[in-house]
Amino acid sequence: MTEPTPQATPESGARSVSQVRLVGLRETALDVNEVLDALADDASGGLTLFIGRVRDHDKTADGAKGVVGLDYSAHPTALDKLREVCQRIADEYDVHALAAIHRTGALAIGDAAVVVATASAHRGTSFDASRALIDTLKSEVPIWKHQRFTDGTEEWVGSP
């Protein structure tokens, strides 16, 4: 599910109706170019893109373990919460545009699990806003990770 936010094309350099340009949860591969296209803005000198990928290991209570794959599940309210988080970050930082998309379903090692990006007049604002966006998304949006390990064990991360 993706819901782009309509943009105005105002004259005289005025900002768009909404800085939140793309928000979505998807069971299909994430497309970085879609995110970059959504944030296109001639007034933006800085665009920061973060891609969270599935890695081949993780630290657990039992120590480091090899990961063979994982599944992401999302609560029915997750898209609304993601949209809320995006709007809050857009309101807090002087960004021109913002996007966040997250995968659900089965993912393999190397797959993109989440893509967040912000565009602003200057790089510092984009870096700060992107860090706040991914950190807030991870802590507040009800998306849970079910990891499968090379030793045959499994673990839920972030579940209630």
Domain-located, residue 57: yes
For the chain, which ranges sit under pLDDT 50?
A: 2-16
Could you tell me which of 76, 71, 90 has the C-alpha nearest to residue 148? 71
Which residues, listed in sequence order, are joined to residue 73 by a DSSP beta bridge? Answer: 144
User: How many domains does the chain contain in total?
Assistant: 1
Domain-located, residue 80: yes
User: Could you report the per-residue pLDDT of 34-81, keeping only the tens digit for each?
Assistant: 999 999 989 999 999 999 999 999 987 778 899 999 999 999 999 999
Per the structure, the complete domain to which residue 128 belongs is given by 20-157
Domain-located, residue 5: no
The model's pTM: 0.87
Domain-located, residue 13: no
Domain-located, residue 11: no
Position 144 scores a pLDDT of 96
> How many other C-beta atoms lie within 10 A of the C-beta of residue 39?
24
Position 60 scores a pLDDT of 78
Domain-located, residue 2: no
Domain-located, residue 10: no
Domain-located, residue 29: yes
Domain containing residue 99: CATH number: 3.90.1170.40
Position 159 scores a pLDDT of 75
CA 146 to chain centre: 18
Position 157 scores a pLDDT of 87
Note whether 46 and 52 are within 8 A (CB): no
- In angstroms, rounded to a whole number, what is the distance separating the alpha carbons of residues 38 and 29? 17
